Amino acid sequence: MYRYIKEDLFTSEIYKVEIRNLPRFVGFNDLKKFLAKHGLNPHKIKLFGRQTFAFVTFKNEEERDKAMKMVHGMQWKGQVLSVKLAKPKADPILRKRKENEGESAGGPPPCKRTDDGDEEEEPLSVQIANVVTPLWNVSYDEQLKRKEQEVVVVLQKLANLAVIFANRTTPYSVYSPETYEGHWKQLTVRTTRTKHAMAMVFFNPQKLEEEELGALKNSMKEYFTEGEGKDSGVTSLYFVREEDLPCELVAGETCIQEEMLGLKFRISPHSFFQVNTGAAEVLYSAVGELAQLDQDSIVLDVCCGTGTIGISLAKRVKKVIGIEMCQEAVEDAKVNAKLNGLSNVEFHCGKAEDVFPNILNAVVSSSVTAIVDPPRAGLHSKVILAIRRAEHLKRLLYVSCNAKAAMTNFIDLCRAPSNRVHGAPFRPVRSIAVDLFPQTMHVEMILLLERVDYSEDSVL
């Protein structure tokens, strides 16, 4: 049945793999484009309806092995792919001939077929061997190659793990959110282009005495300032007992600094700042492009964090007004404005739903542009209603890190007026997606919305 693979004629069946755990509803072209995107050139691709697996053949062993190493463990549309070698397809002519011979001799009906259409006709001894020693018919050299590949896949997952703490022990256990026992909760590390690094150690003291906690903090300080951890580059070390309590500075500077778009920014422990500075530059440049600002523009920067968006646009506009609920971030934003020599920027601390409506109503200008960059859940409904009521606000830029979660906001901004929602609606005009989170499924989206002008018979 498999004699053809031993002949001198070429067949890609001997370089065949099975890709499993494919996303649902993936088609031939989808899989072909996905493989081509990663530099792979399959010879044949075979899918089976809505099944989540496919058979792919290649022209030679090198391309097949490359595909196995690259695709195995890769994430595609939320699914983690797995790849293994697949058996060649049985010769269809010989298979048909055997079926005919069996029928003419009054033999049993055709055997049960496997997923790829091949029949299971092996004797019982071979079936047992396939289960107990599945590599019995694979050369030993090939067995070693496969096992080496499995080991490499495991090691790749370990490759980036730090070993600096491998030989260090602690009398305090890891905190368990299920039993509420233990101490070590979380380690947050923030690094910048300026070679600054802030480490925040979250620790549940349980019933430890202040003397024990003091000894622990001194031990941490000594390790990062004089011990082996000195080379780690930590410039700010914080100890956090409870998330709602102030951070305790153990060693180093109180803040770290970052440079972005030629500007300087101070970042405190609880202040929000985009984790990917290079991509953030692309994001904020795109915001500036869509905003179409001029020297008469007034920018309302809602959920402004440390003031990054507003400060990056300040030199183009008449005034920037930032709103942020985190007091630390507001203080950082004010310092950042001074660091960059800006006098046309002001920041207000408070929840957007409490502060924004009054500020928006107080701004009387035909050149007002609001830029909102809310948390993942989106804007509070009170902010949306205030935006709708402020008819002098004609342009809105919505920066979202989760467009699906913000869909309710988008609908409320664009829905027709009602007893609850007053003011002319907005309409989406243009959108830009920015890959702020490479190697993940997350993406940042900028949506430009403009107020509908009924006097010009605009249509939603």
pLDDT at 353 over 90: no
pLDDT at 392 over 60: yes
Residue 99 to residue 39: CA distance in whole angstroms: 41
Decide if 320 contacts 388 (C-beta within 8 A): no
Decide if 346 contacts 336 (C-beta within 8 A): no
Pair of tokens at residue 94 = 């010989």
**Angle at the Cα of 219 (from 215 to 222), degrees rounded to 5?**
135
User: Which candidate, 277, 278, 254, places its Cα nearest to that of 266?
Assistant: 254
Q: What's the domain count of the chain? A: 3
Tell me what pLDDT residue 132 has.
74
Spell out the residues 6+ positions from residue 65 whose beta carbon is closer than 8 angstroms to its own: 145, 149
Q: Is 456 annotated to bind ligand?
A: no
Do 270 and 384 lie in a common domain? yes
Do 321 and 279 lie in a common domain? yes
Do 360 and 436 lie in a common domain? yes
Strand ranges across the sheet with 298-302: 345-349, 319-324, 298-302, 368-372, 393-400, 444-451, 426-434
**Using CB atoms within 10 A of its CB, is residue 170 exposed (0-12), middle (13-18) or buried (19+)?**
exposed
CATH number, domain at 285?
Answer: 3.40.50.150
Spell out the residues 6+ positions from residue 414 whose beta carbon is closer than 8 angstroms to its own: 425, 426, 427, 428, 449, 460
- What phi and psi, each to the nearest 5 degrees, are found at residue 314? -60, -40
Q: What is the CA radius of gyration of the chain?
A: 31
Q: Is 324 annotated to bind ligand?
A: yes
Residue 51 to residue 26: CA distance in whole angstroms: 9
Decide if 288 contacts 279 (C-beta within 8 A): no
Do 287 and 241 lie in a common domain? no
| 255 catalytically annotated | no
What integer best gives the mean pLDDT of the chain? 85
Mean pLDDT value of segment 159-181: 73
Q: Using the 3D structure, point to which of 45, 67, 85 is the last residue of a domain.
A: 85
Do 68 and 157 lie in a common domain? no
Do 292 and 422 lie in a common domain? yes
Q: Using the 3D structure, point to which of 217, 232, 254 is the last residue of a domain.
A: 254
Domain that holds residue 180: 141-254
- Confidence band (pLDDT; 50, 70, 90) for 125? confident
CB atoms within 10 A of CB 86: 18
Do 407 and 421 lie in a common domain? yes
Do 55 and 35 lie in a common domain? yes
Q: Using the 3D structure, point to which of 232, 254, 276 is the last residue of a domain.
A: 254
Mean pLDDT value of segment 51-68: 90
Do 325 and 206 lie in a common domain? no
Tell me what pLDDT residue 143 has.
78
Residue 53, in any domain of the structure:
yes
Residue 132, in any domain of the structure:
no
Do 242 and 283 lie in a common domain? no
Q: Is 51 annotated to bind ligand?
A: no
Q: Is 78 left (phi over 0), alpha (psi -120 to 50) or beta?
A: left
Do 248 and 281 lie in a common domain? no
Residue 459 to residue 441: CA distance in whole angstroms: 35
Tell me what pLDDT residue 371 has.
96
Residue 5, in any domain of the structure:
no
For the entire predicted model, the pTM comes to: 0.60
Say which range, 23-37, 148-162, 305-319, has the weakest mean pLDDT: 148-162
Tell me: the pLDDT tens digits for 297-320? 999 999 999 999 999 999 999 999
More confident residue, 160 or 27: 27
| Choice among 111, 349, 401, 414 that is catalytic | 401
The enclosing H or E element of 222 equals helix 210-225
Residue 23 to residue 34: CA distance in whole angstroms: 12
Residue 194 to residue 370: CA distance in whole angstroms: 31
Do 218 and 305 lie in a common domain? no
Residue type, 26: V
More confident residue, 177 or 265: 265
CATH number, domain at 57?
Answer: 3.30.70.330
